[in-house]
Amino acid sequence: MSTYMILVHFHSALAVLTGLGFAARGVWRLGMGRAINNRALRIAPHVVDTLLLASGIVLMVQASLWPHLVAWFGLKLVLVVVYIVLGILAFRSRPGARAWVFFALALLAWIWILGVALGKSSLGWLA
């Protein structure tokens, strides 16, 4: 397997982990009103997201896949920013209806990103 494909698999595994971890933290914080006290569990999402971003940038450069030239890829990067911002809003808002809406929209953005990345189409799962 080429190093590029190994990196794609590494990136894909992190892509799944980021969303599952985010969903679990949302249920823990918003659903059960609990704080995360474990140091490793607090740091893990940052490690996952940093590696996801770094591997994505390396793949982008290796594949010469540029967001201003390839529409679905440009949309994917916009959605990544949307996912991050909604995630921050969900966890910085007071627990309640607003926080749940941000949380649900962030999860939708993540699912859309997966569809766009796998289908290489802006419509993602709908294409």
Binding site for ligand HEM (CB under 6 A): 8, 11-12, 15, 18, 52-53, 56-57, 59-60, 63, 65, 77, 80, 83, 110, 113-114, 117-118
Least distance (Å) from ligand HEM to the CB of residue 54? 9
Choice between 8 and 95, CB closer to ligand HEM: 8
| Number of neighbours of residue 49 by Cβ within 10 angstroms | 19
Least distance (Å) from ligand HEM to the CB of residue 120? 7
| Number of neighbours of residue 79 by Cβ within 10 angstroms | 22
Closest by CA to 90, choosing from 34, 22, 2, is 22
Least distance (Å) from ligand HEM to the CB of residue 14? 8
Least distance (Å) from ligand HEM to the CB of residue 77? 6
Choice between 52 and 99, CB closer to ligand HEM: 52
- Cβ–Cβ under 8 Å, residues 48 and 89: no
Dist CA 61 CA 67 (whole Å): 11
Residue 64, amino acid: S
